[in-house]
Structure 1
Amino acid sequence: MSKSPGHQKWPDHKVQEKRLDQPVQVSINGEVIADSSNVIQVDEDQHPPRYYFPRSDVGMDKLERSDTVTKCPFKGTAHYYHLKLGGQVLEDAVWTYEEPYEEHHALKDRLAFDDDKFPEIHIALEPKA
């Protein structure tokens, strides 16, 4: 694991992680795809909040690995999944950092859903008890 080149080059760019103390669900047309009380919210400058779920709390049977790979100078290399639900396929709707930079090691192997690109993906935070 190495240091993030993005944080070194742009030290004022914020990528902040926080563990949520409330359940979070991801659903499409009422079908729950992910449900967890172990979610990390990432707030990054110029991006909407993202929610990273442990794989154990995601319906992995609904995901199919994509060939798409992108690089984030702050978090690392992202690998993508297509989300398959019934006859619907949302291409590259989910991503993961399998070897994130050390500043974001907590995101390792977690999954995030692109609810910005796909409005049919609904992410709901349950109220705190």
Structure 2
Amino acid sequence: MKSTGPSPVITIAMQPGCLLVKFHGIQVAASSRARVLLEANYPPVYYVPWEDIDEQYFARTDHTTYCPYKGDATYYSLQIPGHEGANAVWRYEDPKVSVDQIRGYVAFYPDQVTFEVLKDVE
């Protein structure tokens, strides 16, 4: 994708309820503070605060990417006995000002994990 055109509209909203993230049946994150990022024609991306992940399953890798709208991304692999999701997780440690709400959050490739949203109980 060329970055010479106008910036896509990016919206970031709080995800209602509690978002559970599982890798091969193992819960690797759970958060009632998750956010959902919507960008152009891409599917929604869930972002979870770093504090709400189970760090024992995350291993930082040397892989990086750059998005002209969000900044530099660093990557993590998910590791459980018998399975590894290489570069399945990313974060923008110093995101662009327009998406600063995802600072301190991580995102997951949806083909590597499963998501479940538990609705708030009233």
What TM-score comes out, normalization by structure 1 length? 0.85
Deviations 1:26-81 (A, max 9, x none): 01232111000000100111211111111111011101101011001111110000
Instruction: Find the counterpart in structure 2 of residue 123 from structure 1.
Output: 115
Q: Is the 8 A contact 2:35 2:47 kept in 1?
A: yes
Is 1:10 the counterpart of 2:2? The answer is no
Deviations 1:73-124 (A, max 9, x none): 11111000011011211100000000000011111121111013x2xx1011
Residue in 1 that maps onto 2:25: 30
Structure 2 unaligned spans of 5+: none
Which of 25-34 and 59-68 deviates more? 25-34
Q: d(CA) in 1 for partners of 2:26 and 2:77?
A: 16
Map of 1:66 onto structure 2: 61
Code of the aligned partner of 1:126: L
> Shift of the alpha carbon at 1:9?
4.6
Cα distance in 2 for partners of 1:80, 1:28 equals 16
Higher strand share: 2
Misfit runs of 4+, over 3 Å? none
Instruction: Verify the 8 A CA contact 2:16 2:119 in the aligned structure 1.
Output: no
CA contact (8 A) 2:90 2:108 kept: yes
The match for 1:100 is 95
Query: Secondary structure of the equivalent of 1:52?
Result: strand
**Structure 1 match to 2:45:** 50
> Cα distance, 1:128 vs. partner?
4.2
CA distance in 1, matches of 2:46, 2:20: 10
C-alpha distance in 2 between matches for 1:90 and 1:28: 8
In the alignment, which residue of structure 2 is the partner of 1:3?
Answer: none
